[in-house]
Amino acid sequence: MKTLFQGSMVALVTPFRNGKVDWKALKGLLQFHLEARTDAIIPTGTTGESATLSHEEHRRVMSFVVEFVDRRVPVICGTGSNNTAEALGLIRHAKQIKADGVLVVTPYYNRPTQEGLYRHYSTLASKVEIPMILYNVPGRTGVSIAPQTVARLSKIETIVAIKEASGSLDQVDQILELCDLTVLSGEDSLTMPMMAIGAKGVISVTANVVPSLVREMVHAMLNGDLEQGRDLHRKHYPLSKILFVETNPIPVKTALGMMGLIHPELRLPLCEMGAENREKLRKVLADLGVLRNKKRPPAR
């Protein structure tokens, strides 16, 4: 099995302040994850609000993260688009700045056929030699990569993994039966069950908030400790549900704001979290103990 990337990987938010990327807060988030020993950092994905980043912002965030992390952990840049040529340009930038890999979401809205999906990914892989993770999230894109298409794509050397966020364990099982591609959870509440049937980690939203807890759960499963993995899953589960009670990344940015790590600013068409859900989120965070220290030392 191709296992270039595994473990607890964070789908990093992009902090904003007054309509612009908040570089100071971004630096603080990166330091937070390095201290928590997060296994890999994924900026400019859909949790990073890539759809509302300008092309210049997208490239600048990618470059900033790669430079700051400085090879301490892998950086896998989100480079997806529903325009193959646009995705190619982002992938070329990731290669140029020496990112460790790219995460490429299925083209959204276009709803390509399975042959179109195959050609999209195979074209990108043929143009730039960099490790690529497929990203299947049909609830957000309107299209799902069939396991048979994943198996076709797995034969391409630089396609090394798939982030599976279909919510279907059957889909995961079929992919693992058909090919040796590494499967990574893209559904936080299903990470432990997915790993129990063969997934090798998670690209996580909840890791923005509790990176050490997610890492501990994932590594328990990688080490074959099902009992510990199950116990940590139960501790993690309420957060994995409340962070998706409204559209991601509204709740996770709200949580990070409550923790004092970012200003919880979103870009339209996303807006602030509803008051009732905010209070539910606050209770989950309080139960996890992450609201005790709102102030952190400035990032180095």
Instruction: For the chain, count helices (H), then strands (E).
Output: 12, 10
Q: Which of 95, 98, 108, 135 is catalytic?
A: 135
Q: Where are the beta strands (DSSP E) in the chain?
A: 7-11, 16-17, 20-21, 40-42, 76-78, 101-105, 132-136, 159-164, 182-185, 201-204
| Token pair belonging to 121 | 């990914």
**237 tagged catalytic:** no
Query: Hey, what amino acid is at 217?
Result: M
Query: Hey, what amino acid is at 17?
Result: R
Q: Going by DSSP bridges, is the β-strand pair 16-17/20-21 parallel, antiparallel, or unpaired?
A: antiparallel
Query: Hey, what amino acid is at 286?
Result: A
CA distances from 263 to 17, 22, 266 (A): 7, 9, 9
Give, for 218, the enclosing helix (H) or strand (E). helix 211-222
Q: Which residue has the tokens 């997806």?
A: 80
- Asked whether the beta carbons of 98 and 65 are under 8 A apart, the reply is no
Give, for 213, the enclosing helix (H) or strand (E). helix 211-222
Q: Which of 20, 118, 127, 163 is catalytic?
A: 163
Q: What is the dihedral of CA 8, 10, 11, 14, to 10 degrees?
A: 180
CA distances from 29 to 9, 15, 245 (A): 14, 9, 23
**163 tagged catalytic:** yes
Q: Which residues are catalytic?
A: 135, 163
